[in-house]
Amino acid sequence: MTTDSWVNETLYPAWGQRFRVWHELARVQSAFQDIMIFESETHGRVMLLDGVVQITEGDEFVYQEMITHPPLLAHGAAERVLIIGAGDGGVLKRVLQHRNVTRAVMVEIDGEVIRLAKQFLPGIGGTAWTDPRAEVIVGDGIDYVQRAPDAAFDVLIVDSTDPIGVGEALFTDDFYANAARILAPGGLIVNQCGVPFMQADELGDTSLRRAKFFPHVGAYVAAVPTYVGGFMTLGFAAKVPGLDAVPVATIRARAEAAGMLGTTRYWTPEVHWSAFQLPPYIARHLPPRG
């Protein structure tokens, strides 16, 4: 609460980032995790879950754009989108920018994250919370995918924490089996896979798991300023081949049809294609190309 205090991220025990804090806005122990929101000097408001940076107002656009636009545009005709996690509402907002999306279901396990995001980070979700195409459920994403009907969604976005703590069950065989079942033909799932320079096992392990249930598995990258350690990876798994190599011109045409071309600060059709070009130090953690 002082004006010269620092918050150290605790994701890695011996390296990490720190922020000077203007003032703390919220500190809540929910049923699931420790939630902290503070006003930083450099990045606007920052939300941490269990000591790990989830989002800052300054750079949220990078992560939100890159976990949303590549899967929707690689698919090309996504109408029904399921989002698991993403309680701040930023992914929901980006999904709804695609005018061809008819239904976006968001399942966030921790209602406190939603409540605090609406109160302290209202710009991140914006008007998405009240969009008639959106259905926001406070509940267990694992449970939701178990109960959802077959082929109910075109794209599934898993915006979870790392596979420790509350996010762990989103990286299991059972989860991916259900994900494959509830995705329609042509569908794909995307989930955040950490920063491979620091967490290579996360990408490697979850890629192998996805490969059990999907014939086409890969990853793409984004340079998120506050997910420190170089590129973060977004793992994808698809029912059809080629979604990682859609030509730039096709992506551009789809983005124009979706009505979201020109709305972005990180994503472009060229950045989209480029994100799938993995440096060898990352590519070696993926299973042989399917």
Catalytic residues: 159
Distances in Å between the Cα of 15 and the Cα atoms of 55, 67, 161, 197, 229 are 19, 25, 19, 12, 10
Measured from the CB atom, the residue of 223 and 240 that comes closer to its own copies is: 223
Nearest to 124 by CA among 94, 159, 81: 94
Give the amino acid at 83: I
The pairing of beta strand 34-40 with beta strand 5-8? unpaired
Rounded Cα distance between 115 and 28, Å, is: 11
> Which range of residues in 91-99, 152-160, 186-194, 266-274 is near its own copies by CB under 8 A?
266-274
Measured from the CB atom, the residue of 58 and 186 that comes closer to its own copies is: 58
With H, G, I as helix, E, B as strand and everything else as coil, classify residue 227.
Answer: coil
228 binds its own copies (CB under 8 A): yes
The Cβ-side half-sphere exposure at 281, using a 13 Å CA radius, reads: 9
Which one of residues 1, 14, 31, 242 is an interface residue with its own copies (CB under 8 A)?
14
| Residue 13 CB, nearest approach to its own copies (Å) | 7
For its own copies, the binding residues in 20-79 under the rule CB under 8 A are: 20, 40-43, 58-59, 61-62
Q: In what order do the strands lie in the sheet with 52-56?
A: 34-40, 45-49, 52-56
19 binds its own copies (CB under 8 A): yes
Which residue's structure tokens are 């990490």?
16
> Which range of residues in 105-113, 147-155, 173-181, 221-229 is near its own copies by CB under 8 A?
221-229
| Residue 22 CB, nearest approach to its own copies (Å) | 9
Cα 271 to the center of its chain, rounded Å: 17
Binding mask 139-178 for its own copies (x = CB under 8 A): ----------------------------------------
94 binds its own copies (CB under 8 A): no
Rounded Cα distance between 79 and 65, Å, is: 18
Residues that bind its own copies (CB under 8 A): 8, 12-20, 40-43, 58-59, 61-62, 195, 197-198, 221, 223-225, 228-231, 264-268, 270-271, 273-275, 277-281
